[in-house]
């Protein structure tokens, strides 16, 4: 006995050692078989990052687990991922590890976690999922030596967890997505006839023709299937589905043929409670329906019967009915009553294009307001033929009193509708609006709306639309927000094309306002309390980069004729403003804008565009009789172009041509603007204390005094680019001092100017006057001294430098020439005495000689004349004023 037990122990030990060591012995072979088997049977690339083989995990079967599996498309969709998974596990019978590569393998269980399936159909009809290798693509040797597939299924259990399925049909304009997909099944699929018990859950989203029908709607399906592999048919035995919160039970069968499928299904709601209707509404909007009081019924039932092939779908008939139902949320004062629904969605022929929808009746009542509608849509999947009628009144204030809307503020207003429409989509696509029929009216009164994105609530006292075949007429629109009042009329063209076919929305409007405050339509920027400077991080940079930008709608093609008695913008007030605006191609073109401002008139033509990533503007601006002080204090652009001008009093006439970039708030980026300006300035006075540049200049130059006097006319041309303003030379007079100015400045307030002053002798002081009087010449009264000044630094901290040496030289030369010309013809003694007297010298009588004339000329040295000139300059430049 002991010997027997010993032998058994040895056998078990050997078996355990084999089970532990076998993966290392056979792993390479098994993994090679998996890769080669899959790749041999598909026109795609199958691979995985890592794999593991275990003889213990599912003993007595061999378990193969692979990580980071992927199947990449080749051909038309080359490089795109068809299937990927974090982990996949299969188990096969133990003895099959000894099979050769050409022998078949049986899979008993499999599981997949974190799978992503991407099914694509491009606009040419090519599909990415048809990857099964065709017999014709194999070599003759492969066909003769191996079957089309050497893998058979004998599945007892399978599981798919945490997965995702995407289906995108560009040709059919459909998009389906199933997220959080979990599916499992148990049963014996190796038997000819068996039962498979499955459980499925997930979130579905579905779009068709850019219309969203489901968005992360929860679904659940518990289904027991009867499987007949011989007949290739599947029967629904015990089945329950939940869509959102709506329960459905169904039965029937599906039979798979070689090129088609036969479907025979029926389904219905297990109860007729009206809560079934609320269950169709996404839970985020329907809220908790458990405590909702309901009356009446709501039933969904349908049949699907027919063949699915390339040309047909099964015929189906889905009915949705409700009779005299109502519901009331326990925390709300109003109920929705008299609900009647009679809707049918069907296809009688099996031709996809023949699908139709009949909304025979849809009515409801809230308080005393009744709303009703009916519609038919034929050939839903072909050229839809729409015929619809809407009629009723809704007090908007009652909506949130009867249904738990998430609104920040209670809506107010009465909506009256009486609209009928009949059209087909092909007529709209072709622009044959004469083949559509539209009639009726839509009115809104006493409407008020507010949100945190608005500075003031919008109050629409009255608005009325009339519908006809050609267009929609805006008969009245009277509104107010903040200080702004608006009145508008006009027409809207191509409304159906815009709503159903993504075409341009066209319109012509007139807009009138007594007071139009631009700030009423703008929100204030929120500034953080902590203003401490911090280094920007990647996150903060990303936040700045994603700031929402104002965009002119690309779908809008409109002409607006606007008039306003008063337009308010920040600290600006414009009177009698009028303009025509053309909105098209993401561009607003402003034509013939006129207004009174700053005591004068402004005229503007130009355009603003948001087509590029950065908004741009290009305008021509005319200014006539602008009050200089008001305009330069009110307009940042003028302050940047001529910062010194704010110290002037008088009138400005100018023509600007400007273009550049705009910020996200539509204000000009000064560093990007460029253009030219022709300016005429009529200056009546200078207020030097308003400009640091002028006050510094007056303190530096003794003779300069900007006292009020006669009007000074300045004409100049400015060119600006890259943040720099170039000013062409211009001249004017301060009293009888001629001044010429030229140079440049930057928008960063830096300045670089040259000023030349031609100063008359009478400003040189008493001593200089006495000295010049000795010339005893009429020209002495008209003598002038050129003085140059270089103005640098910045507008707020200017620096003034003068070239005294050049000024002295110029004066010296002028004095020498004048006196020399006067004395050339006089005698030597007279010349000597005159020069000495002029220069203030005392020559003795003994100094005369026969060469006295020569000595007198030599004594008129440059040094002496410069000394005399310096005396005169003391009258020009005194000590600096404080």
Q: What angle do CA 606, 502, 390 make, to 5 degrees?
A: 115
DSSP string, 337-365: EEEEEEEEEEESSS-GGG-EEEEEEEEEE
Of 39-48, 285-294, 317-326, 802-811, the poorest mean pLDDT is in: 802-811
CA distance 118 to 82: 5
Tokens in use for 737?
A: 């001092």
- Of 365-369, 442-446, 543-547, 708-712, which range is least confident? 543-547
| Cis, bond preceding 172 (omega within 30 deg of 0) | no
Average pLDDT score over the chain: 77
The rounded distance, in Å, linking the Cα atoms of 196 and 200 is 13
Of residues 532 and 823, more confidence is placed in 823
pLDDT of residue 158: 84
What gap in Å lies between CA 785 and CA 847, rounded to an integer? 35
Higher pLDDT, 235 or 137: 235
Does pLDDT of 672 surpass 90? no
Q: Report the relative pairing of strands 556-569 and 505-517 from DSSP bridges.
A: parallel
Residue 59 has pLDDT above 80, yes or no: no
Distance CA 753, CA 387 (A): 75
pLDDT of residue 679: 83
What is the spatial distance between Cα 161 and Cα 181, in angstroms, rounded to a whole number? Answer: 6
Average pLDDT (196-220) is 84
User: Sorting pLDDT into bands at 50, 70 and 90, what band is 843?
Assistant: very low
881: DSSP letter: P
Quick check: 631 pLDDT over 70?
yes
Stronger pLDDT, 420 or 642, i.e. the higher one:
420
Q: Pick the residue with more confidence: 677 or 880? A: 677
The predicted structure's pLDDT at residue 866: 58
Distance separating alpha carbons of residues 304 and 311, to the nearest angstrom: 17
Q: Which of left, alpha, beta for 316 (phi over 0: left; psi -120 to 50: alpha)?
A: beta
% pLDDT > 70, the chain: 74
Question: What's the average model confidence in pLDDT over 300-313?
Answer: 90
pLDDT grade for 532, boundaries at 50, 70 and 90: very low
Residue 637 confidence (pLDDT)? 73
Taking alpha carbons only, the member of 681, 696, 848, 703 closest to residue 784 is: 703
How would residue 186 be classed by pLDDT, with cut points 50, 70 and 90? Answer: confident
Task: Determine the pLDDT at residue 830.
Answer: 53
Model confidence pLDDT, tens digit, residues 17-26: 545 455 555 5
| Among the listed residues 589, 593, 591, 553, the one whose alpha carbon sits nearest the alpha carbon of residue 577 | 593
What is the CA angle 442-447-450, rounded to 5?
130
Helix (H) or strand (E) holding 674: strand 674-686
Please give the radius of gyration of the chain, using alpha carbons only, rounded to the nearest integer.
47
Q: Which among 331, 467, 447, 450 is positioned nearest to 396, based on CA atoms? A: 447
Compute the average pLDDT of residues 306-324. Answer: 90
Tell whether the model's pLDDT for residue 476 goes beyond 90. Answer: yes
Confidence band of 634 (pLDDT split at 50, 70, 90): confident
Structure confidence at residue 326 (pLDDT): 92
Q: What does the pLDDT read at residue 200?
A: 92
Q: How many CB atoms lie within 10 A of CB 654?
A: 20
* Residue 765 predicted with pLDDT over 70: no
485, pLDDT greater than 80 = yes
β-pairing, 105-113 vs 151-169, is parallel
Mean pLDDT, range 811-839, rounded to an integer: 58
If one compares 322 and 172, the residue with the highest pLDDT of the two is 322
Q: In this predicted structure, what is the pLDDT of residue 45? A: 84
Q: For strand 44-47 and strand 751-760, is the pairing parallel, antiparallel, or unpaired? A: unpaired
Measured CA to CA, the distance from residue 799 to residue 828 in angstroms comes to 49
Enumerate residues 6+ apart whose C-beta is below 8 A from 78: none
pLDDT tens by residue, 130-169: 777 765 444 434 333 434 445 555 667 889 999 999 988 8
What whole-number distance in Å separates Cα of residue 617 and Cα of residue 659?
5
**Which of the residue ranges 339-343, 495-499, 696-700 would you say has the lowest mean pLDDT?**
495-499
The answer to whether residue 545 scores a pLDDT higher than 50 is: no
pLDDT of 605 higher than 50: yes
Residue 258 tokens read as 């070689």
| pLDDT at residue number 536 | 47
Q: What is the pLDDT at residue 348?
A: 92
Least-confidence region, from 109-113, 231-235, 315-319, 813-817: 813-817
Per the document, the length of the chain is: 882
Tokens 């220069």 found at: 839
- What is the pLDDT, as a whole number, of residue 20? 47
Average pLDDT of span 7-28: 53
Q: Which of 706, 741, 571, 567 is nearest to 639 (CA)?
A: 571
Look at residue 864 and tell me whether its pLDDT is greater than 60.
no
């Amino acid at each position: 006995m002991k010997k027997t037990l010993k032998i058994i122990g040895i056998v078990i030990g050997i078996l355990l050692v084999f089970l532990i060591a076998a993966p290392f012995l056979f792993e390479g072979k098994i993994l090679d078989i998996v890769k080669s088997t899959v790749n041999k049977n598909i026109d795609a690339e199958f691979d995985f990052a890592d794999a593991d083989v275990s003889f213990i995990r599912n003993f007595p079967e061999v378990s193969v687990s692979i990580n980071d599996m992927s199947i990449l498309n080749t051909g038309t969709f080359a490089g795109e991922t068809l299937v990927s998974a974090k982990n996949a596990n299969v188990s096969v019978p133990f003895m099959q590890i000894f099979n050769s590569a050409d022998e078949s393998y049986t899979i008993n269980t499999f599981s997949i976690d974190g799978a992503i399936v991407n099914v694509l159909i491009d606009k040419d009809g090519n599909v990415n999922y048809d990857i099964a290798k065709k017999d014709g693509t194999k070599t003759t040797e492969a066909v003769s030596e191996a079957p089309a597939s050497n893998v058979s299924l004998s599945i007892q259990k399978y599981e798919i967890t945490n997965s995702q399925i995407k289906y995108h049909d560009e040709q059919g304009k459909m998009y389906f997505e199933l997220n959080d997909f979990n599916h499992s099944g148990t049963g014996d699929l190796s038997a000819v006839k068996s039962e498979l018990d499955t459980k499925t859950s997930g979130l579905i989203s579905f779009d068709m023709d850019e219309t969203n029908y489901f968005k992360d709607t929860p679904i659940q399906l518990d289904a027991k299937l009867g499987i007949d592999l011989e007949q290739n048919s599947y029967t629904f035995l015990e089945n329950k589905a939940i869509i959102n919160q709506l329960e459905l039970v169904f039965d029937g069968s599906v039979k798979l043929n070689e090129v088609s499928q036969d479907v025979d299904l029926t389904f219905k709601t297990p109860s007729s409670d009206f809560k079934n209707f609320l269950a169709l509404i996404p839970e985020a909007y329907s809220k908790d329906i458990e405590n909702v009081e309901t009356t009446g019924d709501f039933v969904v039932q349908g049949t699907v019967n027919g063949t699915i092939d390339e040309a047909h779908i099964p015929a189906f008939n889905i009915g949705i009915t409700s009779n005299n139902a109502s519901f009331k949320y326990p925390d709300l004062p109003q109920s929705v009553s008299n609900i009647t629904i009679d809707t049918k969605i069907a296809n009688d022929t099996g031709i996809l294009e023949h699908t139709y929808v009949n909304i025979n009746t849809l009515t409801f009542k809230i308080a005393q307001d009744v709303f009703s509608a009916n519609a038919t849509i034929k050939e839903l999947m072909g050229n839809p033929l729409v015929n619809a009628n809407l009629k009723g009144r809704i007090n908007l204030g009652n909506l949130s009193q009867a249904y738990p809307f998430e609104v920040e503020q209670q809506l107010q207003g009465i909506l009256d509708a009486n609209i009928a429409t009949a059209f087909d989509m092909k007529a709209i696509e072709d622009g044959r609006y004469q083949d559509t029929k539209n009639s009726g009216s839509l009115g809104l009164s006493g409407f008020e709306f507010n949100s945190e994105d608005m500075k003031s609530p919008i109050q629409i006292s009255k608005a009325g639309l009339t519908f006809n075949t050609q267009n929609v007429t805006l008969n009245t629109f009277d509104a107010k927000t903040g200080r702004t009042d608006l009145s508008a009329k006009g027409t809207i063209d191509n409304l159906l094309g815009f709503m159903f076919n993504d075409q341009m929305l066209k319109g012509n409007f007139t807009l009138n306002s007594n007071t139009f405050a631009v700030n009423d339509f703008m929100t204030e920027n929120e500034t953080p309390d902590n203003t401490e400077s911090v280094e920007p991080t990647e996150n903060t940079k990303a936040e700045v980069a994603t700031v929402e930008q104002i965009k002119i709608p690309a779908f809008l093609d409109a002409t607006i004729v606007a008039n306003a008695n008063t337009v308010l913008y920040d600290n600006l007030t414009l009177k009698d403003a009028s303009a025509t605006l053309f909105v098209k191609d993401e561009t607003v073109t402003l034509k013939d804008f006129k207004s009174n401002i700053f005591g004068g008139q402004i005229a503007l033509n130009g355009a603003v565009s948001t087509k590029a990533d950065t908004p741009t503007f290009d305008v021509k601006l005319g200014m006539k009789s602008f009050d200089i002080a008001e305009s330069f204090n009110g307009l940042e652009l003028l302050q940047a172009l001529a910062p010194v001008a704010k110290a002037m009093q008088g009138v400005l006439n100018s023509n600007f041509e400007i273009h550049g970039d705009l910020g996200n708030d539509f204000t000009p980026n000064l560093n990007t603007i460029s253009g030219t300006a022709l300016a005429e300035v009529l200056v009546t006075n200078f207020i030097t204390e308003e400009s640091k540049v002028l006050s510094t200049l007056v303190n530096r130059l003794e003779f300069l005094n900007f006292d009020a006097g006669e009007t000074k006319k300045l004409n100049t041309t400015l060119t600006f680019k890259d943040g720099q303003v170039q000013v062409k030379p211009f001249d004017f007079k301060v009293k009888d001092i001629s001044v010429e100015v030229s140079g440049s400045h930057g928008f960063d307030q830096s300045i670089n100017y040259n000023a030349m002053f031609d100063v008359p002798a009478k400003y040189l002081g008493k001593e200089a006057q006495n000295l010049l009087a000795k010339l005893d010449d009429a020209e002495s009264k008209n003598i002038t001294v050129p003085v140059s000044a270089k103005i640098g630094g910045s507008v707020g901290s200017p620096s003034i430098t003068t070239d005294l040496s050049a000024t002295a030289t110029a004066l010296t030369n002028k004095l020498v020439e004048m006196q020399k010309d006067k004395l050339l013809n006089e005698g030597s003694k007279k010349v000597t005495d005159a020069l000495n007297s002029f220069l203030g010298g005392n020559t003795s009588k003994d100094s005369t000689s026969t060469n006295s004339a020569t000595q007198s000329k030599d004594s008129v040295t440059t040094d002496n004349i410069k000394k005399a000139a310096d005396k005169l300059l003391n009258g020009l430049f005194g000590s600096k004023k404080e």
